[in-house]
Structure 1
Amino acid sequence: MEPELTRRLRQQRLIAEFGVFALREPALQPALDRAAHCVVEGLGCPFAKVLEHLPAENRLLVRAGVGWRPGVVGTATVGGDLESPAGYALHTGQPVLSNHLDGESRFRTPALMAEHGVRRAINVVVRGDGASFGVLEADSTDRGEFCADDIHFLQALANTLAVAIEREAARREAGRQQELLLREIHHRVKNSLQLVQSTLSLQARFEAEPARTHLEEAAARVKTIAAVHDRLYRGSSLGEIEMSVYLEGLIADLRASLADTAQGCGIDLVGADRDTWPADDAPAFGLVVTELITNALKYGKGTVRVRFRRLERAAELSVEDNGPGFPPDFDPRCSRGLGMRVVAALAKPPRAAVEIDRAAPGGRVVVRFNRES
């Protein structure tokens, strides 16, 4: 039999160590896992679990645990009503200690505990200032007894865990509010761009050549910027984008918006590696591919083909068609065309570079984007 003093000193050490760990660990799941391990070590029991309350189902999900068969943690649930030990603790707000589950009249023994031969258990509520997260539980298969001091140990762990849970909830809420604010800003930017495009288009109707053409081109480019912006911020994350998904959606938009320019020619994304880039880089990708596709539809022939390749510390974007190609002395950095000048401006060294692939049978432009160190 372990001396009582040794047992309590070990529990105090575990409480202190868990407090430091929970404060330093930014993610919640490791804290849940560590809490379960502390329970097992501190009480000398073979089983422990952290249960999260699922109000819609009135069940308690095993979020973390020690000793259970594979497949239990993250999947198994127990009843969240007053008929289970954990549910009883959750609803009454009081710790539940039972050293003889088979003789209990207050609640039934959940099937999960019966399956593992659990004879006695302690349940304490994990609750901060708000609603209860769930229950921290210790389970044992022997005929020994838990005592009031064991409840105090378990409750100390649960209280520390509640602080970590509230911190995680506050972090998620702050992130959600920030994302809502950013989406509102981007929505207003898109509306402003559409207003500018409409104003330019309206003005062009009342101007003679060549001013009319210049205004129409300016309106078309503002529309392109608005489309690129809209496509970028339709994604699930505002911090980064999956390039293959982004380009696929953008090209689908361009097929519709450039239908008059295309005059029956197709626009195909013939290859796109999966690659994640910061969202700040996406507008440059989008505008470059839009300008290159527009130029290919105007001056090339056949289907316009777009490729995106992932390279080490870089990415390569190419647009090609079946037309006659570029003149031998053509330099995109010295082009007088607005579209190619936009591409050259967005693909300036050292972050990017643009070149003409002279070996291609038609017109092919390759743009390489380097990742920031």
Structure 2
Amino acid sequence: MGRPGLKNMIGTELIKGYGLGNQLFFYITVRCLAREKNTDFGFVNPEQIGNVFHSNKGMYFMDIDMGKEISRQDMENYNIYHEQDDRLYMGNSVHDMTHGCYISGPDQGLMDVPDNTIVYGNMQSERYFEKYRDEIRQWLHVKEEAESYEYTADDLCIINLRGGEYTSCPELYLDRRYYLNAIRNMKKINPAMRFMVVTEDEVAARKVLPEFEIHHFDMGKDYVTIKNARYLILSNSSFAMVPVMCSTELKYAIAPKYWARHNISDGFWSSEQNIYSFLTYQDKKGRLFSADECQRELDEYKKTSRLYARRNIRPGKVVAFFQNIKRRLIYGWFFSKKILRSFERRTGIIKTYQG
């Protein structure tokens, strides 16, 4: 039963610093929770939607219903629920040693929260929203003047490359080899397939895939270009996931197996929430896996992995010492490959796009 003076509601807070992909996952999960409970939805700081590090124009390409605004003064009247947060502490990076690598799957507790609850978390599991996919397409309907099918074609594959802060993270930033393997897999579908890169970071993209046409239009057109693509090669960025989920054009999409730890995983996912039924996953050798295959592998991994058994446990001083050595070796190899790629571009071994 709701508290006196408040409407029954499920909400979350839109915190400055999150990208559009994270924001839209927060939005759809909260709306789906509220829809399931037949209650209102709302947000603390709703004006933050669409204002991200590379665009501060809001959701100018959608008419998006933000529900009821929850004021900061009213927050104390709501329950607070934090989604289950499981982490692995590993010597892959400063982040993974300090904050841990996020690996959580769906949280039944989140789906069972009572009315008048503000929820926090990652909130990207398909279990939270799969029942309402058709309604989500309506909630996130693109304005007619912003819609575009300019790059919708049966012989064109859009590559979504994430740059920005990823470019200095060896555990996170996808290597050129991932994209080349995915391109080869796409050409098995259509040997005449063309490729075009859509990215928020054209400078980084030209260092990874200089031989292809590369665009950063604006946030809205990047979104609709991905949404309306028939073939996609995805990075491990949440920006593309909601337009892909809302697509009515998509025929086939490849994403990195193990998602945010594709580069270094021994079988864990960062996170399990990013196993989606509508994607095909590619490992470091270019082999392809269905979502069901990935989930079954992960379930077996959880039963046998010594690393997974130590989730949420910070290492002691001796282990941390050796993790630091491992981290430095990973960083050294990562930046050595960057130097090699630069040499290959400058000497013409890797061709550059001539538009």
Question: Which of these two proteins has the greater Rg computed from alpha carbons?
Answer: 1
* Relative contact order higher in (CA < 8 Å, ≥ 6 apart): 2
Determine which structure has the larger strand proportion and give its number: 1
TM-score normalized by structure 1? Answer: 0.18
